[in-house]
Structure 1
């Protein structure tokens, strides 16, 4: 069945982080390491909303004043979560910082309601905060092809 070229489902999705077309057009793309993947800035919107809820709680009882700590901790947590790509591997920053060399990575895992995980050759899994499925084209570019781009593979004709 032929597909309509105007159908958005028939077109491969694009990354919102890196212009893939510019990278494909320029093979001599210079990458300055380290490259940091951070949480979407829209996540910071939850901080003032939570602060508003705390203000409403304080209106009900002044004993809730201690809850003003929660929006500050949430802001710090959103600011801290990141994945840093270097020439040597990945650094996942969350509760703790985990460094993984490129040679240790066997593949990636995409749990349904969780962040991407790097699966190591020994079976261990390392969470990669702030990286989603849509970030794979950008991750493929900055990894130097060590992590393949599934969108590129789907767009290429089967031979």
Structure 2
């Protein structure tokens, strides 16, 4: 049975930044400085960026869609995961290089483990099993 791909995206709360950016742009344009007219593209670029960043996990591997490039990583090239402070999760490849996984955080590991079909271990599974055994 084939499993549909799991897509990790930025939270929809990020779209609240768009009206703030639009308000700032309108304020800059309101002070009647013609040089700031181009800044009207900032809210549109922000929408594009929020929609673009994602990580897709399927049976064949991981696809990391960044701002300007997309990287496809087959499962046989995955060596592990790295969790840099204040950054998205990075997948470590067999050659010790790493690729950032946009929109994936430490809290997404159970969903990542499930979407990977067990190729990525779930660090929270042991705690859940211990709690169920205790009840």
Tell whether the structures are fold-level matches, with TM greater than 0.5.
yes
For 2:71, the equivalent position in structure 1 comes to: 98
Alpha-carbon distance in structure 1 between the residues aligned to 2:29 and 2:4: 46
Higher relative contact order (CA 8 A, sep 6+): 1
* RMSD, aligned α-carbons: 1.4
Structure 1 segments (4+ residues) deviating >6 Å: none
Q: Give the drift of 1:76.
A: 0.2
Mapped partners of 2:65, 2:102: distance in 1? 7
Residue in 1 that maps onto 2:14: 43
Could you tell me which runs of 5 or more consecutive residues in structure 1 were left unpaired when the two chains were aligned: 1-29
Aligned length: 128
Instruction: Return the alpha-carbon distance in structure 2 between the equivalents of residues 155 and 66 of structure 1.
Output: 52
**How high is the TM-score relative to the length of structure 1?**
0.76
Q: Does the Cα contact within 8 Å between 1:50 and 1:71 map onto a contact in 2?
A: yes
Q: How does 1:6-25 map to 2 (within 5 A)?
A: none
d(CA) in 2 for partners of 1:86 and 1:149?
Answer: 16
**Residue 131 and residue 31 in structure 1: after superposition, are their counterparts in 2 closer, same or farther (change >3 A)?**
farther
- Partners in 2 of 1:127 and 1:33 — Cα distance? 22
Alpha-carbon distance in 2 for matches of 1:59, 1:131 = 38
